[in-house]
Each structure stands twice: as structure tokens, then as C-alpha cells.
């Protein structure tokens, strides 16, 4: 028996005599082994006995007390600047108290006093080193370590943020959270762990009691506690006190990874936390850990380590079916039935959990964010990365189990094929020589092509310089006299313009554009350059219609074939494409972007910065057109090339990283978008500055991602900073400023700051000139009015919104019918029955014409019947309600949960009708029908 196993067995022996008999039996031929084990046992008894006796040496209070004989007597004592107020719990490392910090500020904290017998000086030295890393952690889901020190008697203590709440599994069971809600909580845990890993911190003891959930403003907030404590208490190589107390085994058996139970802490990396997250996910799904706690606790030290290292856990879906009497409790806590819960876990959730729990850590998720991303894929009904072990992997596991037989077989096979290999070597060598010669020829060809491209680019630049020289002189004269010269009132008067001492850039551009006329009719290059310059100014002012018109006029002047590859023509085409995208003319923009990309690729090569910019712009146009696969493929090509050619923090490279993160955000991959946008924003602030116009879109997108994940405490300050910078640099009427104004208004609304929300949304609606933006903002403002209970304003906004839709949308289309239905539902909620009835009749007429058999048509009939029922128009209401119900009943069994709920609602309206007109038999009939359907669908 090994020294380690013998030590643990001796600890478990009952009484001194039993321990001596065990040592006599195991060490009769090895007195040195017995001496080492007895020394370890003596250290253990001396260290652990101090804690068990409570003889006053565990804690020396600051008031000079001679000793404390009961844990309750700790209450009211002081440790450093902290006064102990409540015993929260006792763990393997010592006692945890709630404490009040006395100075330099007053706050409530959690204070952990470490078990005696551990080397205080060594522990504090390690913790001081660890705190430099812990201080970098700043995450809303991580409880911070605040302080550390020693008591007057030399016992170490740690001070942590006081976290109120319940362990995550307890909270989920008490609230009867379904699987989707549990997975949402789990995503926040993954985010916290990912943040810690990025800062170089491994938890080592992730378990429900270290993951607390509390509610703030009705929303659950996750807090991971004890980060860094395990590492601070970790034994260093060569530390002779490794077995000071058995509780110093780092971790909790049910949640420990196979590599962690080896007790070789130098071989622990972030993937041990991935395993513990897998155990947590397993427990959230099934109500139990992969290996039952009772079994591990009853097993000996070597046995439970063997179980974790060697045994494969049962799939979560299979575990649920074996829970017997506990299955009812587990499924009820998850708002489901045992059979339904097993079906829900079977497949993708099984795969995700088992990938995180793989004993081979190289096969686990590489990072916590990868695990979170797969859970998000499941929640969004997208393919997950996890999959069952492959046949090859199972074959390799079989080889390990039957190594001897396999080695013999392989030796025989080796002897059989050795001759074949020998005869093949000569052929391979000849083939390699031929391949080397071909590669050398290819290298020479590439070098010649590079030289030719360099020469072509130099010739191109020389030609462009000649053509540009004459244009530049005339352009400078026009801009100096006709544009910038208007700054003075006397010059304006001389040009027959009404003097305006407060002349704006926009007015100066309008006047210069009007005066251009035929002045440069004989100099098309000059006129084209002037038009492009003014168009760029309009573009930067957000006047996209005027910019597009001037860019197009400029291109018409350079329409001959010899001009098509000129630098200024390609730049003008690129700028026109960008403007067309802003105007929603995406197809035209794509044609121009492709033309520019092809020209630059032909003239300058595939990796020239101009070519890469054209490719990046084309990818964004593809995204706007809904061609997301093409867009992402092209952006990844540009990212790889720009990173290699320009560097990871070049402003152009950061633009591509931003565009890729934006695609993840638009696809609903919010956690991945946050993980990518946070470092992008930091890099742009560092390289360009926090208020740079290229930095602000990334900050705005990060704020949007925080908003989508309901982190309003983070999104609102970011939107406020972006809006302030845009107002200073672009003004209140620029489209970008208006968009941020509306986004901040939506955030204020969702945070309950309704007055501020309404003010901003009204300003955005009144300022915007773009129809699509007006529609979006009017919808958000309507929701704000509704939430604020402002009935007259809500009704007026409904009519304004309808007017905007009537300009944009065909009034006989199903899209317009959907708008009518939504507004009618809002009006019914305010008991505006007459207005709602009018809209529902229009909606129903359109749907009966365009989609008579669609379930939405029958739902509209039921809605209209309910509206008439509220107005006591019983005869027509009954006809519509019965027609709507029958239509929904015929379709719904094949359809979604949403349509099932509409059918239940239609039956509720019929029950209300027959109750009001006093037909009890009909009421009973429909109530019975509803109960039957509810049992079938699970919808109340």
C-alpha cells in the first residue's frame, strides 16, 4: 500500500488500537514507511485538534479575551478592522463569518478564518501574489476578494464581498425554473468563469454553494464566490505539510476533474473548471451529480478517486429515467414530467454535458465561452458543436483497455508490411525530388509576378500623378474662392448672395453647388473632382441623397473606358456605394463594390490595403442584403490578410474585427459578440481615442449587446457616452446621432426611466428624415407611452404609426394586416373597443382575401369576436368566435405552441360569451373541451 493510501486508511481506522494494528500489518517489513506515516498522523492530529477543541488558540480577539470556547462566542469579537456579527458556515479551510468593517469605511463583508495548522506565512505570501491577479477581475457575476491578513494569534483570514442569495441549484428548484431559464443562469456562470480565465485565475472548486443567486429588481443575479482562494491555499512543490489535514484536498469530490484528483496541482489548467461547469450543468438538468454524493462519501479515498478517473457517467437523459421516486420531484421543479424532461435532455443537451465532462481534457470545451456558445446554439435551435464520441475515439479507448493483445497484433502487421514500405521508399524519394523542383519553379514564378506587379503599380502611380497635377490646381482655386471664400460677408455680397455672418458648412456647400454651372464644361476632370469633393462633404454631414447625386454626376464625366481604372474613379465608385447602402439601395451598392474590388485586385494585387478595404466594404453590403454566409467568409479572409499584412491593432484591421463581431450580434450570438467587442473597444480607444468616430460604432454595438442580455447597468452608460460624443462632433440631426438617441431612449424605457425615454424618442422621431428610422422609432415610442399608461398619447401614436406604414406599405398586404392586428391588440388592452373593432375588420378583410386558410386569419376572427363581445354585440360575436375557434382547431394540432395558446384564448372568449348570455350548458361544454385540450398540450 502506498504512503498516501496508508495515511488515509489510518485516519479512517476507529481508535488508536485499530490504527496500530493496521500499521503493524502494513509496515512489518518497512519501518521507514511506518515512521513517515506516523509523522504525518501526528501533524494531522496536532493541526486538526486545535480546530476541534476550540481551546481559545483558534482566534485571539482584539479586546484581550483569554479564550473562546464556543463558536457562538466569536460573535461581537473583532479581527483587524472587522467586527464579527454572524456565523455563516464552516468549511474545509475554516469558519466563515458575516462581519462589519469598521474603517476606513463601513460595509458588510464575509470573513473567512483559515483552519490552524496551515503555514500562515506561506499562505499569505501566496495570497499576496494571487491578489495582483484577482484585482484585475471586474465582473458583475464574480464576488471580489477584498482583503487578507492574520489574527493577533497568527491565523490567516480572507475578506470577501458579502453575497446574499441561495446556491444556484437551490434557487432554481425553489423557483421551479424550466430548462431554458436554468440554462440562462448557467450562461452567466460561464461568462464569469471566462472572465476569470482571461485574467489567469482558475477557481478549482466550482460547485452550487460557490455560485449564489439573488434577485435584484425581480431579476436573478448570479455571483461566483471564492475565486482565487483555492490557488492561494494551494500547496507548493516540496511542501512537507501536504497532509496537514485531509480537508486540504483542493476541491469537492463530486465536482473534481480526473486530473484534479491526481493531486498534482502543477498539472491543473482552466479545463478543470470546464469539467466542474459540466457537473453543474448535469445537476441543473437532472437534480443530481454524475457520480452520486452518497456513493463517493461512502467510498474510500482511493476508490472515489478511481471512480472519477475511470468510470463514465450516465447520460443526463438516462439518469432522469433511473431516479425512481425522486423523478417526480426533479421534474416538478423543472415544470415538466419525467418522461418529457428526459426527451428534452436527450441529444444535444446530453452531448454538451458529456463533452464538458470528458475525462480526456483535450476533448472538452477549450474555454468557458465555447461551452456557453454551444448552450446558446441549443437555446436558439441552432446546430451545436458537441457531438457523441466518434467511432475512432471509441476504438482508441478499446486499444487502451487491450494494450498487450494489440501490441502483438501490431508487431505481426509491422513485419508483414515492412517489406512493402522498404520498396516504396525509393519511389517516395524520387517523387519528393520532383516535388522540390516544382516548388522551386513555382517560387521563381511568384517572384517574377511580384516584380511585375510592383513595376505596374509604380507606372500606374506615375500616370495618376500627371493627370492629378492640373486638376489639383483648378480644384484648389474653386474651393478657396467659391467655398471657403464665402466665410466673409463682403465676399458673399460680391457674389450676389445675401450676406450671412453665421454661414454654415451646409449653406456654403449648397451655394457652391448652385454656382458650379457650366464653368468647367471644357475641363471634365476638374468638374468631376469638385463634384466628388462636395459629395464627400454632404456624405459626412449625413445628407446622403445630395451626396449620391453629386457622386453620380462625377462618374458620368469620367465615363470613357480609359478612366475606369483611375484612382479617383475607383474612390468615387467606392464612396457612391457606401452612400447607396445608407439609402437602402443595397443591390446597386453591391455591383459597385464588386467592380471596385475586381479593379484593385487586378491593378494592385489581392492583399493590397486598397483591395482589402474594397473586400471589407463588399462583405458589409452582402450582410445588408441578407447574404450572411458570403459576408462572413469574405470578412474572415480580410481579417486573416489584414492581421498578417498590417498587424492586429492597425485601424483597418480593427474595422474588420468590428464587422465580424457585428454579424455575431445581428445573428443573436450575444455572448460571443460581447466577448469580441470588449477587446475591440479597448484597442480602438488605445489606438484611435475614446471619442474617435471609428471608435463610437464599436462602443455602440457593445452597448446593444449588453442591452440584449439585459445588462442595462452597462449598456446605458455606454450609450450616454456615445451620444455625447456624436452630438459634439456630428450634431443633433446626423443619422448616427439620431440612431444613438433612439437606442438610449429604448434603454431608458426598459430600465423604467420613462420620462427620459419619451423625451429622447420624441426628439429622434421629430429629427429623423429617414422613413425606416421613423417607423422604428415610432414603434418604440408607442411602447413607451403604453408602458407609462399615457392613453391619449398612445392612441395618437398608433394613428401616426399607421400613417407611416401607409406610405411605406401596400394597404392590402399581409404586412399591413399584421400592423393593424398589433395596434388593435394595444387598443383592446386600453378598452378602446370602437377603434380596435375598426382596425380588426380591416385586418380580417385583408387576411380573408390573401390567406383565408392561415391560422392568423382565424385568430383575427376570434379577436374581432372578443372585441364585439366586450361591446355586448352578442349575435355577431358568437358567429365570429365559433368560426375562429373551428378554423384554429382544424389547424392547431399540427402547429406550434403559440398557435395552441391562441386556441385556448379563443375557447376562453366562448366561455365568457355563454356566461354573459346565461347558457350554462354551453359554458360547461366549452370548459370540458378546454380542460381536455390543456391536458393534451400542457397549456393552461
Q: What are phi and psi of 156, to 5 degrees?
A: -75, 150
At 157 the three-state DSSP class reads strand
Cell, residue 57: 488558540
Q: Which residues are catalytic?
A: 205
Cell, residue 547: 451626396
For residue 284, with 0-12 CB atoms within 10 Å meaning exposed, 13-18 middle and 19 or more buried, which class applies?
buried
The secondary structure element, H or E, covering residue 27 is none
At 892 the three-state DSSP class reads helix
The answer for residues whose C-beta is within 8 angstroms of residue 230's C-beta and 6 or more apart is 202, 203, 204, 205, 250, 251
Cell, residue 545: 441623397
Q: Is-contact 542 735, C-beta < 8 A?
A: yes
The answer for residues whose C-beta is within 8 angstroms of residue 220's C-beta and 6 or more apart is 171, 175, 185, 213, 214
State how far the Cα of 782 lies from the Cα of 825, in Å rounded to an integer. 13
Within 13 Å of residue 189, how many CA atoms lie on the same side as its CB?
Answer: 30
Instruction: Report the Cα–Cα distance between both ends of the chain, in Å, rounded.
Output: 63
Cell, residue 827: 387598443
At 161 the three-state DSSP class reads strand
Q: Is-contact 712 750, C-beta < 8 A?
A: yes
State how far the Cα of 219 lies from the Cα of 709, in Å rounded to an integer. 12
Look at strands 107-114 and 156-161 and give their pairing: antiparallel
State how far the Cα of 249 lies from the Cα of 265, in Å rounded to an integer. 10
The answer for residues whose C-beta is within 8 angstroms of residue 108's C-beta and 6 or more apart is 98, 99, 100, 101, 162
Number of H helices, E strands in the chain: 39, 9
Q: Is-contact 46 246, C-beta < 8 A?
A: no
State how far the Cα of 413 lies from the Cα of 578, in Å rounded to an integer. 65
State how far the Cα of 193 lies from the Cα of 584, in Å rounded to an integer. 41
Which of these, 368, 311, 314, 370, lies nearest to 342 by C-alpha position? 314
Cell, residue 155: 491565523
Segments in 220-367 forming alpha helices (H): 229-232, 271-286, 293-298, 301-310, 316-321, 326-333, 338-345, 348-356
Phi-psi group of 517: left, alpha or beta (phi > 0 → left; psi -120 to 50 → alpha; rest → beta):
left
Cα-based distances in Å from 112 to 79, 94, 125, 150: 11, 7, 17, 11
For residue 618, with 0-12 CB atoms within 10 Å meaning exposed, 13-18 middle and 19 or more buried, which class applies?
buried
Cα-based distances in Å from 148 to 109, 110, 112, 246, 779: 12, 12, 9, 24, 53
Cell, residue 202: 482558475
Amino acid at each position: 500500500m502506498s504512503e498516501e493510501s496508508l495515511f488515509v486508511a489510518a485516519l479512517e481506522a476507529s481508535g488508536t488500537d485499530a490504527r496500530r494494528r493496521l500499521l503493524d500489518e502494513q509496515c512489518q517489513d518497512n519501518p521507514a514507511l511506518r515512521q513517515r506515516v506516523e509523522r504525518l498522523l501526528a501533524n494531522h492530529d496536532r493541526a486538526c485538534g486545535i480546530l476541534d477543541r476550540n481551546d481559545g488558540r483558534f482566534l485571539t480577539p482584539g479586546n484581550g479575551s483569554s479564550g473562546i470556547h464556543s463558536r457562538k462566542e466569536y460573535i461581537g469579537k473583532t479581527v483587524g478592522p472587522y467586527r464579527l456579527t454572524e456565523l455563516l458556515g464552516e468549511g474545509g479551510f475554516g469558519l466563515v463569518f458575516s462581519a462589519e468593517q469598521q474603517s476606513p469605511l463601513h460595509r458588510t463583508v464575509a470573513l473567512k478564518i483559515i483552519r490552524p495548522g496551515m503555514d500562515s506565512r506561506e499562505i499569505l505570501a501566496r495570497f499576496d501574489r494571487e491578489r495582483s491577479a484577482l484585482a484585475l477581475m471586474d465582473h458583475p457575476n464574480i464576488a471580489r476578494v477584498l482583503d487578507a491578513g492574520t489574527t493577533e494569534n497568527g491565523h490567516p483570514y480572507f475578506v470577501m464581498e458579502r453575497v446574499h442569495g441561495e446556491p444556484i441549484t437551490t434557487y432554481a428548484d425553489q423557483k421551479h425554473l424550466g430548462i431554458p431559464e436554468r440554462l440562462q443562469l448557467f450562461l452567466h456562470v460561464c461568462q464569469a468563469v471566462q472572465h476569470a480565465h482571461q485574467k489567469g485565475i482558475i477557481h478549482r472548486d466550482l460547485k452550487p454553494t460557490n455560485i449564489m443567486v439573488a434577485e435584484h429588481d425581480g431579476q436573478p443575479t448570479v455571483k461566483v464566490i471564492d475565486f482565487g482562494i483555492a490557488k492561494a491555499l494551494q500547496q507548493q512543490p516540496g511542501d512537507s505539510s501536504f497532509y496537514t489535514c485531509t480537508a486540504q484536498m483542493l476541491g469537492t469530490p463530486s465536482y473534481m476533474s480526473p486530473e484534479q484528483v491526481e493531486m498534482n496541482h502543477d498539472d491543473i489548467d482552466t479545463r478543470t473548471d470546464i469539467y466542474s461547469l459540466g457537473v453543474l450543468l448535469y445537476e441543473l438538468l437532472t437534480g443530481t451529480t454524475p457520480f452520486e454524493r452518497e456513493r463517493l462519501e461512502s467510498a474510500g479515498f482511493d476508490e472515489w478517486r478511481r471512480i472519477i478517473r475511470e468510470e463514465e457517467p450516465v447520460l443526463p437523459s438516462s439518469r432522469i429515467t433511473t431516479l425512481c421516486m425522486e423523478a417526480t420531484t426533479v421534474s416538478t421543479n423543472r415544470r415538466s414530467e419525467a418522461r418529457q424532461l428526459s426527451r428534452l435532455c436527450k441529444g444535444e443537451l446530453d452531448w454538451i454535458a458529456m463533452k464538458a465532462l470528458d475525462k480526456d481534457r483535450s476533448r472538452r470545451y477549450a474555454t468557458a465561452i465555447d461551452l456557453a456558445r454551444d448552450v446558446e446554439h441549443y437555446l436558439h435551435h441552432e446546430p451545436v458543436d458537441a457531438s457523441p464520441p466518434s467511432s475512432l475515439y471509441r476504438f482508441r479507448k478499446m486499444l487502451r483497455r487491450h494494450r498487450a493483445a494489440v501490441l502483438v497484433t501490431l508487431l505481426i502487421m509491422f513485419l508483414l508490411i515492412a517489406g512493402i514500405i522498404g520498396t516504396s521508399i525509393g519511389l517516395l524519394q524520387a517523387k519528393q525530388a520532383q516535388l522540390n523542383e516544382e516548388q522551386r519553379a513555382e517560387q521563381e514564378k511568384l517572384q517574377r509576378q511580384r516584380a511585375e506587379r510592383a513595376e505596374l503599380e509604380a507606372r500606374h502611380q506615375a500616370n495618376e500623378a500627371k493627370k492629378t497635377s492640373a486638376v489639383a490646381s483648378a480644384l484648389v482655386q474653386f474651393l478657396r474662392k467659391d467655398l471657403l471664400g464665402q466665410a466673409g460677408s463682403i465676399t458673399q455680397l460680391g457674389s450676389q448672395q445675401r450676406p450671412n455672418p453665421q454661414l454654415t458648412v451646409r449653406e456654403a456647400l449648397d451655394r457652391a453647388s448652385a454656382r458650379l454651372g457650366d464653368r468647367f464644361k471644357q475641363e471634365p476632370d476638374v468638374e468631376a473632382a469638385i463634384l466628388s469633393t462636395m459629395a464627400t462633404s454632404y456624405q459626412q454631414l449625413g445628407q446622403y441623397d445630395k451626396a449620391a447625386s453629386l457622386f453620380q454626376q462625377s462618374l458620368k464625366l469620367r465615363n470613357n473606358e480609359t478612366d475606369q481604372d483611375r484612382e479617383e474613379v475607383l474612390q468615387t465608385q467606392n464612396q457612391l456605394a457606401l452612400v447607396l447602402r445608407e439609402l437602402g439601395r443595397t443591390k446597386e451598392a453591391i455591383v459597385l463594390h464588386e467592380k471596385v474590388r475586381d479593379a484593385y485586385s487586378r491593378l494592385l494585387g489581392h492583399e493590397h490595403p486598397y483591395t482589402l478595404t474594397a473586400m471589407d466594404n463588399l462583405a458589409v453590403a452582402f450582410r445588408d442584403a441578407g447574404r450572411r454566409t458570403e459576408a462572413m467568409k469574405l470578412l474572415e479572409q480580410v481579417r486573416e490578410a489584414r492581421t498578417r499584412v498590417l498587424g492586429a491593432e492597425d485601424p483597418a484591421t480593427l474595422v474588420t474585427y468590428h464587422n465580424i463581431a457585428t454579424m455575431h450580434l445581428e445573428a443573436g450570438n450575444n455572448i460571443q459578440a460581447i466577448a469580441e467587442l470588449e477587446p475591440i473597444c479597448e484597442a480602438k480607444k488605445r489606438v484611435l481615442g475614446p471619442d474617435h468616430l471609428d471608435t463610437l460604432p464599436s462602443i455602440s454595438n457593445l452597448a446593444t449587446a449588453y442591452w440584449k442580455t439585459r445588462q442595462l447597468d452597462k449598456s446605458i452608460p455606454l450609450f450616454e457616452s456615445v451620444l455625447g460624443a456624436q452630438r459634439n462632433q456630428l450634431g443633433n440631426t446626423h443619422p448616427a446621432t439620431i440612431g444613438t438617441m433612439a437606442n438610449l431612449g429604448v434603454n431608458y424605457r426598459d430600465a423604467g426611466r420613462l420620462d427620459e425615454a419619451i423625451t429622447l424618442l420624441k426628439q429622434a422621431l421629430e429629427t429623423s428624415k429617414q422613413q425606416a428610422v421613423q417607423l422604428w422609432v415610432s414603434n418604440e415610442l408607442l411602447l413607451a407611452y403604453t408602458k407609462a399608461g399615457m392613453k391619449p398619447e398612445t392612441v395618437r401614436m398608433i394613428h401616426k404609426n399607421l400613417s407611416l406604414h401607409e406610405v411605406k406599405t401596400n394597404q392590402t398586404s399581409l404586412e399591413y394586416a399584421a400592423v393593424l392586428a398589433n395596434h388593435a391588440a394595444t387598443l383592446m388592452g386600453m378598452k378602446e373597443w370602437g377603434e380596435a373593432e375598426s382596425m380588426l375588420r380591416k385586418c380580417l378583410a385583408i387576411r380573408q382575401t390573401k390567406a383565408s386558410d392561415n391560422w392568423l386569419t382565424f385568430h383575427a376572427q376570434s379577436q374581432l369576436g372578443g372585441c364585439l363581445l366586450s361591446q355586448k354585440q352578442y349575435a355577431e360575436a358568437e358567429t365570429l368566435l365559433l368560426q375562429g375557434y373551428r378554423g384554429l382547431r382544424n389547424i392547431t394540432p399540427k402547429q406550434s405552441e403559440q398557435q395552441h395558446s391562441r386556441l385556448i384564448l379563443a375557447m376562453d372568449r366562448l366561455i365568457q360569451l355563454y356566461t354573459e348570455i346565461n347558457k350554462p350548458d354551453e359554458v360547461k361544454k366549452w370548459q370540458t373541451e378546454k380542460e381536455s385540450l390543456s391536458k393534451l398540450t400542457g397549456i393552461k
